[in-house]
Amino acid sequence: MAIEEAKYIWKNGELVPWAECTTHVLTHSLHYGSAVFEGMRCYYNEETDASYVFRLQDHMERLIRSAKICMTEVPYTADELVAATLELIKACELKSCYVRPLVYRGYGQMGVDPTGAPVDVIIACWPWGAYLGADALEKGIKVGVSSWRQRSNNAIPPQMKSSASYMNSILAKLEAKAHGYSEAVMLNEDGYVCEGTGENLFLVRDGVLSTPPVSEGLLEGITRDTILNLAMDLDIPVVEERLVRADLYGADEVFFTGSAAEVTPVAAVDDREIGGRGPITKALQDRFFEMTAGKLPEYSDWLYEVK
């Protein structure tokens, strides 16, 4: 999806005009993938004219954990990055937007060893609609199980949300598009269902919500954790269990979750019809969007208002 430019990008403690926020073509992370990042959304409540970034603190804490795993020292605390994000959104005068923090090894060193390369930190935000298409949230999308396997726990750790990790996702996404699908489902090296190219995955069968455990090699998604909490609050039975591709074919409902994808239903898997947004998916989706818009006070601790 094309990026719609905003006024500023926050870089290393300063608000820089969008077009002037550049980096050198020999930046280490551009050549070796030595960057970690996050993605989150800011939601707008028209009734109260208030904007909220969803689980901002959790995202920034995960960003710093990712950097720690790849031995990159972030020169800011999570609290400082939270404050910078709210400052940026306000300066850009955006009521709703997508937010992308990135920690990367900058210009000055070449070779696999990043030692000595400066660490740069940016936060960008821009208006961004439904990640998988305008109709996807209601009608669902068609997906295919990819021939590309998800990277293993001992290759690129799934707990680390790194730029390098997503080459795997790019290969699966391009394959899915070539086959006429909107998204791919990736299996792990043992052949069990793992996740999408940038989303966690849930299925429903006989009223029970199932999702693969994080031990299967998937990212510990913040939206995934949110859905597990919402399901518990709605008295929907939940189980974390190993799933095989045939479990997807026989499911009553399937949906993806993620900061970009939000709660996106699946209409078909490998040309087996699932049916799109079923009753449990809709209940969770409705509650998710009510919560992110600040309409459910019991979840206010997850919301960071832009003031």
Active site residues: 161
Q: What amino acid occupies position 183?
A: E
Tokens of 179: 């086959």
Tokens of 88: 């940026």
Residue carrying the six token digits 């009510």: 290
Burial 150-176, CB ≥16 within 10 A → b, else e: bbebeebbbebbbbbbbebbebbbebb
